[in-house]
Amino acid sequence: MRIGFIGLGSMGVGMSANLIKGGHEVTVWNRTASVAEPLKAQGAKVAASPAEAVQGAEVVHNMLANDAAVREVILGSVLPVLAEGTIHVNHATISVALAQELAETHKARGVGFVSAPVFGRPEVAAAGQLNLLASGAPADVARVQPLLELLAAKVWPMGDDPIRAVVVKIGGNFLIGAAIESMAEAAALTRAHGVDAKDFLEVMQNTLFPAPVYKIYGGMIAADRYEPAGFKLSLGFKDVGLARAAAETKRVPMPVASVLHDAMLESLNRGDGDLDWAGLARVAAARANLKG
């Protein structure tokens, strides 16, 4: 297929590379053009603009940072030039409100829209082992299913409504953030009583919580190592905000989300926004007057 891929951050590079490996004709665009050079060496065409990247494309993927970027690039530059019958696959974590707007604007132009946010870090994306959510019109999802399978260990169908995949992604990221905050607070507690965070978290990772989230982020907390960031704390803060906004529209109380929001805001005020979001542990340690 002829594919346009918009947004080559830490996730998008690996995802677009897997589409190239799958034998597809991929044209990429990124705001910082130099990021695309390794993909060019793998056979990708590099476009000078988003509109150029999607010219003649049968399917367009995007992995942009937030609502503002999706609104600017997709609604402002890409959608107006897409041919009828093209399918746009959105991998970005966006608000429920924007997902609804995208679904409506795409339908009005005769362009398919598939919500396909992902769970996984950059190394997982590069390996083509993401867990990928997919919702949208069944015919659109079926058409892009072979492409999604190049990106994912498993594609999780979420039904016909594009909003469904978006809200599952938002809920999942909230759970990850809550797990990090809980580990951070528990590690501060044990450290205050003389137990090294590594010793405490090793027990948790191998008994009560033998799950990837606890192993990956617990390991980072134990080592007090938050760079390079697989997922920046500033993006985690954005996603907790999306969860709170989605909850408010349905009057769903989320008191833990409010606590997490404030902890992340405190971390951002410390200048930690570019750290991996496991860096929340530094706020928990600072509150307890623990060094390091």
> Per residue in 112-147, pLDDT tens?
999 999 999 999 999 999 999 999 999 999 999 999
103-127 core/surface letters (b: 16 or more CB in 10 A; e: else):
beebeeeebbbbbbbbbbbbebbbe
In this prediction, residue 290 has a pLDDT band, given cuts at 50, 70 and 90, of very high
The answer for residues whose C-beta is within 8 angstroms of residue 159's C-beta and 6 or more apart is 135
Q: What whole-number distance in Å separates Cα of residue 140 and Cα of residue 259?
A: 39
Task: Give me the pLDDT at residue 292, please.
Answer: 64
* Number of folded domains that form the chain: 2
Residue after which a domain boundary falls, among 123, 139, 160: 160
Are residues 8 and 146 both part of a single domain? yes
Please indicate, yes or no, if residue 89 is contained in any of the structural domains.
yes
For residue 287, give both structure tokens. 């509150």
Catalytically annotated residues: 169
pLDDT tens-digit readout, 62-77: 999 999 999 999 999 9
Domain-ending residue, one of 118, 139, 160: 160
For residue 230, give its domain range. 167-287
Cα-trace Rg, the chain: 20
